[in-house]
Amino acid sequence: MAELTIEARGLVKRFGRRTALDGLDLAVEPGQVMAVLGPNGAGKTTFVRAVATLLRLDGGTLRVAGFDVRREPEEVRRAIGLAGQYASVEPAMTGRENLEMVARLYGQPARTARASAAGVLERFGLAGDADRLARTYSGGMRRKLDLGASLVSTPRLLLLDEPTTGLDPRSRIELWDAIDGLVEHGTDVLLTTQYLDEAERLAGHIVIIDRGRAVASGPPAELKRRVGGNVLEVHVRDRADLAAVTAALAR
Ligand SMILES: Nc1ncnc2c1ncn2[C@@H]1O[C@H](COP(=O)(O)OP(=O)(O)OP(=O)(O)O)[C@@H](O)[C@H]1O
Ligand SMILES: [Mg+2]
């Protein structure tokens, strides 16, 4: 079997008395776009930060691109790109300068950095605005620049934490198209979102998390069938209670 892109087993993360991840299990297969869907405070950002090796877990095991985040964080970091819920664009630099700087930080020589920046600007439709200061960009353009910055190094896995939150509908659609383009180039994507429509639009597989645990997962159509209608699933501990439960529900 091919190695999983992400394999999370029983992840636990506590912040003081608050438990952000409470035994989270999740697997992403290669070639998959996975959406982690959940309400505010469900643990989405905490999970993304764990995958990005940005926090210390209190329990469980987490492997990314075959590497253990605890024992092999350097290897994990080389395999991933991260674009945040809060864009990390430097406003006092132009779009092109932002991207070239990131490429240089990844260790690319100046000439390679210039070429990667130009490639990303082209891919995201920012070439015409490349030499304007990022502070003059719209919210959608900044997000694209932020997304582009995570791609100058062609990561195997791209992490997108709520990539379209706060964008207007048009910018949202443009960003979706940009993400489609990456997927066509063969980048695996893990994204978080609070919106079912976004998860459906972008992902082949969805995991719904709530209070730090995975509560349902599957392809969008299957999940909608299971949770979309007004279906109430009731499990009884003892078969003998079935009649009483049925009667109670019929009331
Ligand atoms: N650095 C921190 N210190 C204390 N508590 C934290 C910290 N980071 C997250 N938490 C708590 O952990 C829980 C999960 O937070 P997290 O940011 O992962 O949720 P989220 O699903 O990303 O929510 P949102 O949709 O609002 O971005 C929340 O209860 C949050 O308050
Ligand atoms: Mg979050």
Per-residue pLDDT reduced to its tens digit, 2-28: 689 999 999 999 999 999 999 999 999
Query: Does ligand 1 lie within 6 Å of residue 46's CB atom?
Result: yes
Is the model's pLDDT at 1 over the cut of 70? no
Residue 44: pLDDT over 70? yes
Look at the domain 6-250 and name its fold: Rossmann fold (3.40.50)
In order, the DSSP letters of 32-66 are -EEEEE--TTSSHHHHHHHHTT-S--SEEEEEETT
Pairing of strands 188-193, 18-28: unpaired
The Cα 20–Cα 13 span in angstroms is 6
User: Residue ranges per domain, the chain?
Assistant: 6-250
CA distance 206 to 219: 6
What confidence score (pLDDT) does residue 85 get?
55
Nearest ligand 1 atom, CA 194? 25
Q: Find the mean pLDDT for residues 176-197.
A: 87
Quote the mean pLDDT of the chain: 88
Residue 43 Cβ inside 6 Å of ligand 1? The answer reads yes
Considering the chain, what percentage of its residues have pLDDT values greater than 70?
90
Q: Does residue 40 line the site of ligand 1, with CB under 6 A? A: yes
229 pLDDT band, cuts 50/70/90, is low
pLDDT at 99: 94
Say if residue 103's pLDDT is above 60: yes
Per-residue pLDDT averaged across 35-58, rounded?
A: 94
